[in-house]
Amino acid sequence: MKAITTSGWGLSAELVLNTISAPTRLGANDVLVQVHGASVNPKDWKLNYHAAVAFTPLLVNKLPPFFGDDLAGVIIDKGSKVRDFEIGDAVYGMDMRPRTASLAELTRIDQKRIAKKPPSLTFQQAASMPLAAQTALQGLRKGKAEAGKSVLIIGASGGVGTFAVQIAKAMGLHVTGVCSGRNADFARELGADEIIDYTQGDYRNTAGSFDLVFDVTSYESPRTCDALIAEDGWFISTGGDTRSMLITPFYRVFGKHCGTVVVESWTRDLDTLSELVESGKLRPIIDSVFPLAQSQQAYDRSRTGRCRGKVVIEVMA
């Protein structure tokens, strides 16, 4: 089968299209998916790219392909304990233990990490969702988001942010989005009630206070956002530095809460997202689409940090 591997090793190695063995043995809870779409997330090039590049010479032809988390495709085989999915089902999902390996024509994935694809979405649209949209959903829940509360979403125009704005609106929150001026109208179209343009000065001491500050850029911390968080409010991050992590337990002493979201894929959460899609409350925003052979260019596009929505890879037409 065709799959993405690397051109060699070391930091100058590039992602290249290769022909390798298809996965053979399926676990009892696994399905074998013919992958149609995948997508790029910053962690792909932040962590796994360099790790994979370093170890690829040892792994080539010994382990399955390593790149890509999000997938959308069709089940072509299933393990003996798979009950809720049938061969022929169109599904979407991801599994980061260790990787979905979705930059390949075929891959295995555990049944608990996937759900039926929302019928109204193409494979490419569905492939943009699992990691980023579940991060948005799980982060909002962790920050006790509920109808009537206010949320500040820092990074409203990116992969996670475009989902977070729409899901927060669907939950009934008052949404303020932080983005650059060029994305202000776009974030309003997604449903943001108010916009703060981060290029027009430091808003962090003047923007007022919010029940939830959801930083999806990973740049901020409870310290930098302290003035933005209401009493008994929450700061939730998709990343954060070590110093911020260390003060997390003490932050509660001051009547505020903070935490980090570490996304996991679950059928029930994907089903929740599918319902939002099918009810017209959520739509994936696609920044750009690349063919599988141009996965390196797709990574490079994501690495600019300027994407509006998601970078998608078409694995099979």
Ligand X SMILES: NC(=O)c1ccc[n+]([C@@H]2O[C@H](COP(=O)([O-])OP(=O)(O)OC[C@H]3O[C@@H](n4cnc5c(N)ncnc54)[C@H](OP(=O)(O)O)[C@@H]3O)[C@@H](O)[C@H]2O)c1
Which residues does residue 210 pair with via DSSP β-bridges, in sequence order? 229
Q: Tell me whether residue 106 or residue 162 sits nearer to ligand X (CB atom).
A: 162
Our finding on whether 128 is near ligand X (CB under 6 A) is no
Our finding on whether 216 is near ligand X (CB under 6 A) is yes
Place of tokens 């209401």: 230
Residue choice 99, 169, 257, 308 for contact with ligand X (CB under 6 A): 308
Place of tokens 């997508």: 39
The answer to whether the beta carbons of residues 63 and 82 sit under 8 Å apart is no
Q: Tell me whether residue 32 or residue 160 sits nearer to ligand X (CB atom).
A: 160
Q: How far apart are the first and last CA of the chain?
A: 15
The H helix count followed by the E strand count for the chain is: 9, 15
The answer to whether the beta carbons of residues 114 and 274 sit under 8 Å apart is no
Our finding on whether 160 is near ligand X (CB under 6 A) is yes
| Residue 274, Cβ density class (10 Å: 0-12 exposed, 13-18 middle, ≥19 buried) | buried
Our finding on whether 176 is near ligand X (CB under 6 A) is no
Q: Tell me whether residue 182 or residue 223 sits nearer to ligand X (CB atom).
A: 182
Our finding on whether 180 is near ligand X (CB under 6 A) is yes
Give the C-alpha distances (Å, rounded to integers) separating 18 from 87, 114, 215.
27, 26, 38
Which uninterrupted H or E stretch holds 184?
A: helix 184-190
Whether the upstream peptide bond of residue 65 has omega within 30° of 0, thus cis, is no
| Least Cβ distance, residue 80 to ligand X (angstroms) | 32
Residue choice 100, 183, 265, 296 for contact with ligand X (CB under 6 A): 183
Residues 12-71 that bind ligand X (CB under 6 A): 41-43, 46
At residue 125's C-alpha, the angle toward residues 161 and 92, to 5°, is 100
Residues 145 and 141: their CA atoms lie apart, in Å, by 6
Alpha helix stretches (DSSP H) within 34-156: 42-43, 49-59, 123-127, 130-142
Residue choice 158, 191, 233, 284 for contact with ligand X (CB under 6 A): 158
Single out the segment in contact with ligand X by CB under 6 A; choices: 106-114, 118-126, 176-184, 206-214: 176-184
Q: Tell me whether residue 31 or residue 41 sits nearer to ligand X (CB atom).
A: 41
Place of tokens 């003996």: 80
Our finding on whether 187 is near ligand X (CB under 6 A) is no
Our finding on whether 292 is near ligand X (CB under 6 A) is no
Our finding on whether 93 is near ligand X (CB under 6 A) is no
Our finding on whether 132 is near ligand X (CB under 6 A) is yes
Residues 251-280 that bind ligand X (CB under 6 A): 261-263
Q: Tell me whether residue 135 or residue 150 sits nearer to ligand X (CB atom).
A: 135
The residues of the shown chain that bind ligand X, judged by CB under 6 A, are: 41-43, 46, 131-132, 135, 154-155, 157-161, 178-180, 182-183, 198, 216-219, 238-239, 261-263, 302, 305-308
